Amino acid sequence: MSYLTKEEFTELGFECEGDFYKLLKRAKLAIDAYTRDFYFLNSFDSDNEARKRAVKLAMAYQIAYLDTSGVLTAEDKQSIASMSVGRTSVSYRTGSQNGSGSLSVAERYNLSKDTENWLKMAGFGYARVDYDR
């Protein structure tokens, strides 16, 4: 079951140069990992409209990100973190802004920032600890 159709993707104003269905599968895997398979246990179709819309937008942004960046997996992202050509060196910033070097949750799942923002608006991506006293 997919969260987004090609028609919906186009209606949202997105374009895809690559194989849409291949990118759709990759995007779904990343989003399912980030949401901890929420829709494996819950029905996407019967979910509330606001969360469904947010997930559809997250899917669209993730497909567009995968299409334009060419980075399909978190492993790909790590392998191209830096490159050198002659005396020119390019390093992509990884990790948090405080310099700790740890990857953000979105970076661990190879999500675009827009995808993460929409998923957070839908209530995903937060961790909590319950204390029972």
Residue 39's nearest CA partner among 31, 54, 128, 24 is 31
Cα within 13 Å of Cα(101), Cβ side: 0
* Structural domain spans, the chain: 6-121
> Residue 54 pLDDT > 90, yes or no?
yes
The per-residue DSSP string of 60-88 comes to: HHHHHHHHHH---SHHHHHHTSEEEETTE
Q: What is the pLDDT of residues 23-46, one digit of tens each?
A: 999 999 999 999 999 999 999 999
Q: Whole-structure pTM over 0.85, yes or no?
A: no
> Residue 59 pLDDT > 80, yes or no?
yes
Q: What is the pLDDT of residues 63-111, one digit of tens each?
A: 999 999 877 766 666 555 566 677 776 666 555 455 555 667 777 888 9
